[in-house]
């Protein structure tokens, strides 16, 4: 396994850019983080392990570790830049956090995950897999969960129609504009978001190379087909949808 980014079109400069602007580019990230925390099937004083796929800067792992004080997180990412940043973010948690390399589309790492995970979480990465690969990933992860454990995913989803696609694009741009002014103090991050053509829902297929969102209806059905129970949508904003399924 190489030490390259997990996805051939994602370069280290993208990681550096997202470290600076990810909180602004992600709609309502603090709200999203809390939704993830609420969906983990555990109590604050329990000891358990969570794996995160594509941990980025470590913002989600940090939220989990802060709220579940005996939990441990295995934080996986394909980018060396992101792993370095996550290591810094999670340093305060000591041995409760491990940052490791993986390549999303490979399958070997799935077998080396420990059994009995209380949750597997992922934010904004699985849309880089095509539909059949998503289905295989969902199926491969179910046996790694403890009974009652959950797969909790937030991702871009494909719009089922033109009107919802228009809404997703407008709502995302509006949120970024608002957050740019709140967190950066002006609209500079919003202008970068627009100039760099970051908004999937307003782009051409050529501009969205490497992005393969599927509809939420399809992905919920794939979870059910793989054997998950309690499959649900818990949060949605501007085409970013948090959905979950649990091992019976």
Query: What does the domain layout of the chain look like in residue ranges?
Result: 12-160+203-246
Residue for token pair 């004083």: 45
- Phi, then psi, of 124 in degrees rounded to 5: 60, 50
Helix or strand holding residue 170 (H, E): helix 162-179
Interatomic CA distance for residues 195 and 182, integer angstroms? 20
Per-residue pLDDT of the chain (248 residues; tens, 9 = 90+): 233 334 445 555 656 667 778 899 999 999 999 999 999 999 999 999 999 999 999 999 999 999 999 999 999 999 999 999 999 999 999 999 999 999 999 989 999 999 999 999 999 999 999 999 999 999 999 999 999 999 999 999 999 999 999 999 999 999 999 999 999 999 999 999 999 899 999 988 888 888 999 999 999 999 999 999 999 999 999 999 999 999 99
Beta strands in the chain (DSSP E): 49-53, 72-77, 97-101, 117-123, 145-156, 229-237, 240-246
What is the per-residue pLDDT for 4?
Answer: 35
Rounded Cα–Cα distance for residues 76 and 209 (Å): 23
pLDDT of residue 2: 32
What gap in Å lies between CA 72 and CA 105, rounded to an integer?
A: 24
pLDDT given for residue 225 in this prediction: 98
What does CATH list as the number for 12-160+203-246?
3.40.50.150
Model pLDDT, residue 19 = 78
Provide the pLDDT for residue 116: 98
């Amino acid at each position: 396994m190489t030490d390259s980014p997990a996805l051939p079109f994602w370069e280290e400069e993208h990681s550096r850019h997202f470290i600076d602007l990810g909180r602004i580019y992600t709609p309502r990230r603090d709200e999203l983080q809390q939704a993830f925390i609420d969906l983990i099937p555990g109590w604050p004083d329990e000891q358990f392990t969570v794996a995160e796929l594509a941990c980025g800067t470590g913002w989600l792992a940090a939220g989990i570790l802060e709220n579940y004080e005996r939990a441990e997180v295995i934080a996986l990412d394909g980018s060396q830049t992101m792993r370095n940043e996550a290591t810094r973010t999670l340093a305060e948690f000591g041995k409760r956090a491990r940052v490791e390399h993986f390549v999303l589309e490979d399958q070997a790492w799935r077998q080396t995950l420990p059994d009995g995970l209380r949750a597997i979480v992922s934010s904004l990465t699985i849309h880089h897999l095509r539909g059949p690969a998503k289905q295989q990933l969902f199926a491969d992860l179910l046996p790694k969960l403890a009974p009652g454990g959950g797969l909790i995913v937030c991702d871009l989803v494909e719009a089922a129609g033109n009107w919802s696609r228009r809404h997703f694009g407008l709502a995302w741009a509006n949120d970024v504009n608002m957050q740019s002014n709140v967190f950066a103090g002006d609209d500079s991050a919003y202008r970068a978001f627009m100039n760099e053509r970051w908004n999937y829902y307003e782009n051409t297929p050529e501009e969205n190379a490497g992005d393969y969102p599927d509809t939420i209806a399809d992905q919920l059905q794939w979870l059910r087909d793989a054997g998950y129970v309690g499959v649900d949508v818990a949060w949605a904003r501007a085409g970013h949808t948090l959905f979950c399924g649990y091992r019976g």
